[in-house]
Structure 1
Amino acid sequence: MIEKSTPDPSHDRAFYRLRDRSAAGRETVDTLPWAAGPWSPEAQHGGPPAALLGRAVESVGGGVVGRFTMELHGPVPVGPLATSTTVLRPGRSVQLVGAELYDVGRDRVVASARAWVFPASEAGPARPTPPVHGPEDGKVHPRPTAWHGGYLDAVEWRWVVGSVEEAGPGVVWMRPPDLVEGEPITPLQRLLACVDSASGVSAALDVRRWTFLNTELTVHVLRPPVGEWVCLDAETTLGPGSVGVATAAVHDRRGLVARSSQALLVAPR
């Protein structure tokens, strides 16, 4: 299937600008305002940091990521950040790669990731089944005026089921901008820039009365997504206490790409 692209106003946007790269592989970036989350212009949405850590994992080279886990150690500031990467478990078939994200201003780790890297292959037994809808079938809903723009304005959204203000499961097609200014976004980076939104896409509680913050993101990747659009079919399940779980089946136009989950801290405001 050939994907037909429509003009994308977000193509002149990016989440980060590369500042420098050391001989040891450590990179420093400046965070651009488009990475800010909905609650504050000073704290990032989880998607851009996840994609930046994915970019660090990709810098090791070779293979495809089969599982990616990000731990959020606290709010990620909209400011200078640095990444470092380590091969934790080398191997001829699979390897485990670790990456860390540093707040340069305070010299502390704000997020970390672990990724299992598998051999690249197209000889597997399964073939994806295309979804029954595409981004052209979705609707554009304006974001709540009380929410900060940033990430919400940088990403294109096409809602098939639900909206950010409608409680319950949601299905949305997303098209993010480039991750680093002047550098084409990779399929893995595009996927990771989107999947952290599952908890918001499927919000099960009134955001005016409850907070539901994710502490981690786990993504099992069946294959890299193809094309500019990623679809989240998301649902949030609440426990009787402070724990919730947001899950999503992730598709592109060809079919299933990944499954994601997030552990949520649920608390009254």
Structure 2
Amino acid sequence: MPRGEQTADGVTHAAFDATPSTTGPWFADAQHMGPPSALLVRALERLPESRASGAQGGWRIARVTVEVLGAVPAGPVTVTAGVERPGRTIELLSATMRAGDRDVLRARAWRLAASDTSVVAQGQAAALPGRDDAVVRTERPDGWLPGFLDAIEWAWLDGGRLGDEGPGRGWIRMRVPLVEGEEPSPAQRLMVAADCANGLAAPLDVTRWLFVNTELTVHLHRAPAGEWTGVDAATVVGPDGLGTCSATLFDDDGHTGRIAQALTVRAR
């Protein structure tokens, strides 16, 4: 829920109050990282061009990395954003989320000038099966809290349900707006879905193990479209407490990007 926005000296400042739809499955007083990550992307998308642009086709965000500095409380937060490295065709953007007296999330993104490369487009992954082949599941695993999980529509292609071990594929859509009174952009929707990859590809028994992502990196080779994001995710766990979740992302037009999450893995 927005509490006000302003821009001064090229830096945007915005304040928000979290709603119950943001709370994660483990702690009722902390947010799932999907909505706050998308809120940072919202701030990045709204940054004006820093100088006269050579981007005749507009701008595209090519990569976003969100660093998790701490738990995001289910309460008031502020977001600041600005252009770190201005340019005519390449810009580096940054955004920070703050709760109380501490930074909780920090994002950086490369924003690139778009141009027509349709005649040489190549390398895209095969399309994910459509939602007609998916199974909609609404139940939560035992012990998982309501909030964010109930604010998402889950259409599973395989992998069973949230928390089941092994790779997972499915389609994800937000049931509620990211910001009250606004239609989320496709990139904001995609960020929410991207942070769910670790849940779709749970590598271990969630009652015995924690596997928490410390960051989220998203690469996009084209702008996403639509309300639904397809996720094809798998997780690797190493022998010394580290793991990596990676996923391919889709929309109704096909492959749109890839993500990776660094995981800390430990017994409960």
TM-score, length-scaled by structure 1 = 0.90
Matched, 1:219 2:223: no
What's 2:15 paired with?
28
Larger displacement relative to structure 2 (84-93 or 256-265)? 84-93
Larger displacement relative to structure 2 (223-232 or 117-126)? 117-126
**Structure 1 spans left out of the alignment, 5+ residues:** 1-16
8 A Cα contact 1:220 1:260, kept in partner: yes
Structure 2 Cα separation of the partners of residues 130 and 61 of structure 1: 35
User: Cα distance, 1:155 vs. partner?
Assistant: 0.6
What's 2:121 paired with?
126
Deviations 1:143-169 (A, max 9, x none): 114111111100100000112132100
Structure 1 Cα separation of the partners of residues 250 and 26 of structure 2: 27
Paired letter, 2:121? A
What's 2:168 paired with?
170
8 A Cα contact 2:128 2:250, kept in partner: no
Aligned partner of residue 174 in structure 1, secondary structure: strand
Match of 2:24 among 24, 31, 37: 37
**Structure 2 spans left out of the alignment, 5+ residues:** 50-58
Match of 2:103 among 101, 109, 112: 109
Structure 2 Cα separation of the partners of residues 143 and 75 of structure 1: 22
RMSD across aligned C-alpha pairs, in angstroms?
Answer: 1.4
Any residues of structure 2 matched to 1:150-169 within 5 Å, and which?
150-162=147-159, 163-169=161-167
8 A Cα contact 1:130 1:254, kept in partner: no
8 A Cα contact 1:136 1:158, kept in partner: no
Structure 2 Cα separation of the partners of residues 262 and 130 of structure 1: 22
Structure 1 Cα separation of the partners of residues 28 and 133 of structure 2: 31
What's 2:233 paired with?
234
User: Cα distance, 1:132 vs. partner?
Assistant: 5.0
User: Cα distance, 1:46 vs. partner?
Assistant: 1.0
Paired letter, 1:164? L
8 A Cα contact 2:24 2:148, kept in partner: yes
Any residues of structure 2 matched to 1:5-154 within 5 Å, and which?
17-24=1-8, 25-61=12-48, 63-103=59-99, 106-124=100-118, 125-126=120-121, 131-141=127-137, 142-154=139-151
Query: Taking structure 1 as reference, are residues 211 and 118 closer, same or farther at Cα in structure 2, changes over 3 Å only?
Result: same
Aligned partner of residue 179 in structure 1, secondary structure: coil
8 A Cα contact 1:57 1:99, kept in partner: yes
8 A Cα contact 2:212 2:263, kept in partner: yes
Paired letter, 2:109? A
8 A Cα contact 2:242 2:265, kept in partner: yes
